Amino acid sequence: MEEKINKVAQMIDKAGRIVVFTGAGVSTESGIPDFRSPGGLWSKFDPDDFTIDKFLNSAKTRQKMWKLLLDGGLMADAAPNAAHLAIAKLEKIGKLSCVITQNVDNLHQKAGNDPAHVHELHGNMQWLICLECGQKYPLELLTKNIPSVDYVPDCKKCGGILKPDVIFFGEALPQNVLSIATHESQECDLFIVIGSSLVVYPAANMPLYAKRSDAGIVIINLGETQQDDIADVIIDHSAGDSMTKIMERLKAKGLDARGEAAPHKIS
């Protein structure tokens, strides 16, 4: 573990353009449940109930969706954990080009990453959008005073259907975000995967693009991923602890208390 931590710190120190790619394994350490693992949301709810077609055409499905969001913890006011803070620190010291995330929880922004540098492939749960007029609402405005368990909010402007501003099954990823993420992946010299098993496409194409462009690949994830074979370093450990150790190693070997690079390199 110590050898791997040191290796990743060396790679970060030498890199000029780093992309961090995050999945659910980052946010579970903030108490946000994932979807696919045992005990995850899909063990409690049927994902087939939450296609975009069913959401649009069935009031019962919309009611189920709001119940999932409320009961499943996706609307909780979670706080960033050590991994999010470490990623924000990479931006502060001028190493991070961007974050590409599969998560919809807004925690990278809360941790201090510039929202302009966080590319959310699957949307952001902190916003609701009206499918009729396009009006957007912060989630908190509509969840402060929920009148009943059967509550389904509608647009205050036109009465239209409100949808969480995230990608449902059957919806395409936003093409502008996908295009930016693809470009960033192809242009980086170090690509760090944190908390993703890399099974969901097209998001999981991003490390492949980076590898084809000769970027170094680091994977930090509990358990195997589908792209372990392309990684230069694999750390099978928690995201928060791993990233904390990596940042401590960087600071010990070249970063001062303000996060400014010192003249010497990590040896």
Active-site annotation, residues: 122
* Sign of the torsion formed by the C-alpha atoms of 30, 36, 42 and 47: positive
CB 155 within 8 A of CB 132: yes
- Describe the crossing of helices 82-92 and 239-252 by its angle, rounded to 10 degrees: 40
Q: What's the rounded Cα separation, in Å, for the pair 58 and 53?
A: 8
Q: Are 168 and 198 in contact (CB under 8 A)?
A: no
Distance CA 214, CA 222 (A): 25
- Cα gap 262→223, rounded to integer Å: 35
Question: How many Å from the N-terminal Cα to the C-terminal Cα in the chain?
Answer: 18
DSSP string, 134-195: --EEEHHHHHSS---TT---B-TTT-PBEEEEEPPBTPPPPHHHHHHHHHHHHH-SEEEEES
- Among 172, 223, 232, residue whose Cα is nearest residue 198: 223
